[in-house]
Structures are given as C-alpha cells and as structure tokens.
Amino acid sequence: MAVDEQRHRPGALGPTGRFVAGNLARMRGTQGLSTTELSRRLKAAGRPISPTSITKIEKGTRRVDVDDLVALSVVLGVNPNALLFPDAADASPIEVTAAERLNTAYEVWQWADGREPLRDDDDPDEFHVRVRPRGRRRLVRHGERSPEELQHRRKTVETMAAHLFAERGPAEREAFLARQKRWDPEPWESDNESR
C-alpha cells in the first residue's frame, strides 16, 4: 500500500491525531509523569484512561475523542490547542487535515488562537465573530450585545475621551467620540431613537 493511501485509509490517524500522540508523549515526559500516574490523575478528573491506553495514544494506535482531549489538557495543565498542534509557531510547513494544502505552523497557531482564518477565502472580521464567544470578541454583530453591555461600552469610551482629551479641548474630544460612534454606533443608537 502506498504511503499516501496508508495515511488516508479509514481508521488511520490524520495529521492532528499524530500531533496529539507526539505532544502527549512529550508533555508527559517533560512533566515526569508515568502512564500510571497520568491514568490516576485522569480517573480523579472523571475521565479514566488506562495506562495501556495512554501508551496506545502515544504510539498512534488509539484515537482520542474530544472528552479525552479536554481531560488530558486539564490534567496536563495546558489548553487543548497545545495537544492538537505543533510545539512551534514558525515557518515549518504542516498539515492540519489530509487536504493537499500545507500551512505554516505560525498560520496554524494564528488560526488556533482565533486571530486569523486558515483559509484565504474567509473574511477575517467574520471569522473573528464566529470563533469568539460574546464578551470575548474584538468585533460583534449588530443586536448581539445586551443593553448593559452597550451602556458599559459607551461609558468606557466617554470616560476614555474625557481623560485623553482633558487638556486638549472639547473639539478634539468630540472628534474622537465621532470616530468611535462611526466604528461602533450601536451604544449611541438610543440617542438617535429618542430624537
């Protein structure tokens, strides 16, 4: 069987599965954990995985489901991305899926951290809205924030303007506020509705 066919056959680990296997072995080793000790900690965390199964994961002969991945991350004191992706964010070419396109490790980490889309055809702003929960986004969709969030945003901007432009005069403060209102008009929309 050709190497490509073997790598893409049903049941074979894909590139991310191989990263999980290698990263788990590396992290367990750097933390000085035996498979028995890691198994004990996983059981205490409510997700028992036997020492033999941990060895199989590290050898790439046992798959990891999402609950296993999260439990391993918690017990090892890392986030899931640390197990899923390479231990470097450099220009090394890597596969994320079995697709033909290779990405650099840096691009993959930018995507994994929710900073940039992995695909060139994805809109960066829309990507950011999709990957972050409310309250953790740089951008939000109109109508998504609560009245309290809008009030807090408006108060924050107005307080910032008062401090930044206290000595420069009202014209510069008003220009700053006008820019903020253009970029994010929703916190000030109630002013327009009451007129």
| pLDDT tens track for 66-84 | 999 999 999 999 999 999 9
Provide the whole-model pTM. Answer: 0.68
- Three-state DSSP class for residue 139: coil
First to last CA, the chain: 74
- Distance between CA atoms of residues 48 and 116, nearest Å: 35
Mean pLDDT taken over the chain: 86
Strand residue runs (E) in the chain:
93-94, 103-104
Q: By the 8 A CB rule, do 175 and 181 touch?
A: no
Q: By the 8 A CB rule, do 96 and 110 touch?
A: no
Query: What are the backbone dihedrals phi and psi of residue 82, each rounded to the nearest 5 degrees, phi first?
Result: -65, -25
131-171: pLDDT as tens digits = 877 766 666 667 777 888 889 989 999 998 888 888 888 88
Name the band, by pLDDT with cuts 50, 70 and 90, for residue 5: very low
Query: What are the backbone dihedrals phi and psi of residue 104, each rounded to the nearest 5 degrees, phi first?
Result: -80, 155
- Distance between CA atoms of residues 25 and 193, nearest Å: 60
Q: Which residues contact 142 (CB under 8 A, 6 or more apart)?
A: 186
CA 186 from centroid of its chain's CA atoms: 27
Q: By the 8 A CB rule, do 17 and 64 touch?
A: yes
